Structures are given as structure tokens and as C-alpha cells.
Amino acid sequence: MTDPSPVHATTVAVRRDGAWTAVMILGPSGAGKSDLALRLIGRGWRLVSDDYTRVWASGGALHATAPAAIAGRIEARGVGIVSVRTRLVARVVLAVACVPEAVERLPEPQTRRFCGIDLPLLALDPRPASAVEMVAVALQTL
């Protein structure tokens, strides 16, 4: 197991095939990470961590948790910091990069490395309502 490293990301998890599977949403402040996470949470996902996520590699997989100071809370822009249902730890299988524009229709597969683990990387404009479904579809293809 590697020592946990902080990543500027919001991480959410969903129960799939009996296990919790997480998606790490990447982007600068204001990119829409928390907004996309709140929409996923509204569809039954659980928050792992908002804005900063601690990740580590173990057994060939990447795992995530929240720093203690922010566990269980997410920023709802314009509303404030709110408490939501959480998942303490989850295995991360996909990274989503929030981009401010439409993406290519059929992009080449990309990856991003965290703690020596390569994750598939989905570039996504988080603003359209379909962004939630795009994350779900991308997760199903793994």
C-alpha cells in the first residue's frame, strides 16, 4: 500500500455488482465537480470526498477516502456546505476531467496515473443534464 496522496478532486461511489465503485471528478475550482457530484448523489450515488480526495494504491487498485476535516460534507454553490450520505472508502475505477467546452464525439482513449495506477480518463463538460448519464455510461463500459 502506498501512502495516501491528496488529489484536487471530488469522488463519488455507486454500488455495482455488490461492490462500491468510485469515480474521481477532476478540475479547478468552479469547474463543476461538486455540482456533478450532487446530481449523481441525487441518483443514489454516495459522496466519498468533496474537493480534495486522499488516494492510495493497494493490491493493484486505487482507493479513495476523504480527509477527516471534510468528511461527509459537500459544497452546494450558492447554498453552503451540506451533509450528505457518504461512503468511507471506495475503489476508484474512472477519472472524469471537467472541461469548459463540448468534447470530441469519438475521442481516443485516455488515461491518467495516480499512485502508479492508470485510470481511464473521460473528458466531460459537466454542465449539460446528460453529464450524469455520460458518467454512468462510461462506468458501464469498464
For 66-107, the pLDDT digits (tens) are 999 999 999 998 999 999 999 999 999 999 999 988 788 888
Distance CA 38, CA 34 (A): 6
**The predicted structure's pLDDT at residue 2:** 72
**Which domains occur in the chain, in start order?**
5-140 (3.40.50.300)
For 1-25, the pLDDT digits (tens) are 777 788 999 999 999 989 999 999 9
**The predicted structure's pLDDT at residue 4:** 79
**The predicted structure's pLDDT at residue 105:** 83
